[in-house]
Every structure is written in structure tokens, then in C-alpha cells.
Amino acid sequence: MRCFVACWPDESTRSHLDQVARGALGHYPEARRVRPQNLHLTLAFIGELALPRAREAAVALSGVSSEPFEWHIDHIGRFGRARVLWAGGPPQPRLSQLAEQVRGQLQALQIRFDSKPFAAHVTLLRDVPAGRSTGSSEVVEPIEPFIWPIHDARLLVSERDSDGATCYRALDPSSRSSTRGLDPSSRNATRGLDPK
């Protein structure tokens, strides 16, 4: 199963992010909007992982301690080479610390992950026209600021729903069943949206 560790937004934050994505889509009509229920903040990308190891990681990550904190989101940016439009904000030291804790747990479990430096962002659109982008990360424009209250990090699993679209689920570390251990974030596929 394809796994990654991420922060999962509450409904208010998810709604704000989706509103920003919808507004940005007006400027990039050729792009694909990420499904609202798939919006997330990746802390570490793992890739393929067998269920027993995924469950082991979920248990370890449930022990990562962090007092709730706020991440302020105030601009959208673009990764030109990846053709991605994202939402982000000023550096948040506690968010960086959470990412370090998560990666430390994965290293302790000898679970490989993408070791690129952590860059806090939430992907909103994919297949954004490259334009004049240099290929590096660049801020596109400011947006109306809003706050994401962050409480924890979760091991998420990428699956396909009945319509073939990608959906993400949080792996429940307390369950011993391969089916009941997956906590669905959403099963609803939305036509015309990015399946990722």
C-alpha cells in the first residue's frame, strides 16, 4: 500500500483551502483541482509499505507528542517544474519540529522515506501551465489569511475508490484488521476533479 505521513485539516480549514483552490482554478482552467477530501500537508512521503509495517508506523506515530498549534496560511505559490499550485504561509517552527519528529520515528523503525528537506505546503492544483516559471518554488500572490489548527500527524494510505479515483485514509493503529484499520476520509468521487 502507498503510504505517507501528513497533517489532516479540520472541516473549516478544508473548506478554506478548497475555496482558494476554486478561485485559483479560474486563472488556470487547464489545471486539475485536488479533491477537497484529499487536501493535506505532507510531513514525510514513504511510498509502498506492507500492511504490518504500516500499522507499526501508525502506532509509533500516534506517540509523537505535540501541543496543538496554529499554522497561518496567507499566500499561494507554484512549483514550476512539478506544475503544482500550492497554499502556504510563513515558516512555523513547531510545524518543522513536528516534521522532524515524524521523520525521526520513521528512521528509528528503519522505514525509508523521501528525504528532501521539508517544505510546508498544501497542493491545490496539478498540471498548472509552466508559464515563465524557473522551475523552483515561487510565491504567486497573497490570499486572505486563515489559520489551520494542527493537532497531530497521521499515517495516510492512498487507495482507489469504486469509481477509480484516488482517496486517502488514515490508518487506525488500534485496529488489527486490514479493512477496519482504515479510517475513511471520504469515499465520494467528484467528477472533473484531480483524482489525487
Q: Which pLDDT band, with edges at 50, 70 and 90, does 173 fall under? A: confident
Residue 56 lies in a domain: yes
Can you give the pLDDT at residue 79? 92
The model's pTM: 0.85
**Residue-averaged pLDDT of the chain:** 87
Residue 195 lies in a domain: no
Residue 191 lies in a domain: no
Mean pLDDT of 156-170: 91
Residue 88 and residue 92: Cα distance in Å, rounded? 10
Mean pLDDT of 117-146: 85
Can you give the pLDDT at residue 81? 87
Can you give the pLDDT at residue 172? 86
Q: How many distinct structural domains can be found in the chain?
A: 1
Instruction: Answer for the pair 142, 171: CB distance below 8 angstroms, yes or no.
Output: no
Which has more pLDDT, 72 or 137? 72
User: Which amino acid is residue 145, in one-letter code?
Assistant: P
Residue 194 lies in a domain: no
Can you give the pLDDT at residue 43? 98
Can you give the pLDDT at residue 195? 39
Residue 25 lies in a domain: yes
Does the pLDDT at position 76 exceed 80? Answer: yes
Residue 141 lies in a domain: yes
Percent of the chain predicted with pLDDT > 70:
86
DSSP characters over 93-162: HHHHHHHHHHHHHHHHTT-----SPP---EEEEES---TT--SSEEEEEEEEEEEEEE---EEEEEEE-T
Give residue 58's domain range: 2-184
Residue 30 lies in a domain: yes
56-69 pLDDT, tens digit each? 999 999 988 778 99
Mean pLDDT of 165-173: 90
Residue 193 lies in a domain: no
Instruction: Read off the DSSP letter of residue 1.
Output: -
Domain containing residue 90: CATH number? 3.90.1140.10
